[in-house]
Homo-oligomer: A and B are copies of this chain.
Amino acid sequence: MINTLFPCKRYSFTNEAILEDLSKNAISLIEEKKISIKLKKKQVLFYEGTIPTGVYILRAGKVKKYSTGLNGKEHIFYLAKENEILGYHCLLSKETYAHSTACLTDCEFDLIPKEVFLSMIENDHEMLHRLLKSISHEFGVFTNNTRILAQHSVRERTALSIIKLERFFDNNGCIKLSRKDHSSIVGTSIESLVRTLHDFKEEGAIELRESMIITKDIKKLVKASNFV
């Protein structure tokens, strides 16, 4: 429904397509070589600046990708959920991680060791192309998001964040996320975010219950986001 109100594809992204329709070979290779990892909420999967050992498939849970500023303040630029691949960029660019990834909920991952992943894309042309396609699309989404940060107000960005978060959580309009993380997504202070949420509540666009956000009127949010 929200797709008709808002051009989601240009402003959000999920890479699960990369893993769709894997060949039998690939699936059994992953099954054989994978290393299962379970982490609790708030634990960190990998840190910015460290050396990658493979890619991760997020099997259950939700994570945030963020980079850290000088004062230690996080900037969250992406949220991921079930079936997405994590950590492939720096494996491909042969660099250390350019960002950190941490759990928003309890999570389960499969670690695919570096050599296994690299040989997979070496031998599976189709998968390599999906990867390229995915990264290239991602790129367009990121340039859009950069423009939004540069040109839109806190109120507009907050409205947009709620629209995207509703889709991401996909739970009857119910969004469960700390104000700190939310403000790190919007790119503002916690207090400014709280005041803006208060305004949206007053305007009947959302409800606030036990610090969760429940969307009530997406149209009002789309209007407040100043897009279309």
Majority secondary structure, A binding face: helix
Whether A14 sits at the interface, judged by CB under 8 Å, is no
Among the stretches A19-27, A56-64, A138-146, the one at the interface with B is A138-146
Whether A75 sits at the interface, judged by CB under 8 Å, is yes
Among the stretches A33-41, A92-100, A193-201, the one at the interface with B is A92-100
Whether A149 sits at the interface, judged by CB under 8 Å, is yes
- The verdict on A95 contacting B146 (CB below 8 Å), with A135-B135, A151-B69, A151-B75 known, is no
Rounded to whole angstroms, the CA-CA distance of A189 and B71 in the bound complex is 26
> Is A139 within 8 A of B142, CB to CB?
yes
Whether A179 sits at the interface, judged by CB under 8 Å, is no
Whether A209 sits at the interface, judged by CB under 8 Å, is no
Interface residues of A (CB under 8 A from B): 10, 65, 67, 69-70, 73, 75, 77, 88-95, 98-99, 128, 131-147, 149-152, 187, 226-228
- 7 smallest CB-CB distances across A and B, nearest first, come from A98-B140, A150-B187, A93-B136, A75-B147, A92-B136, A93-B137, A89-B136
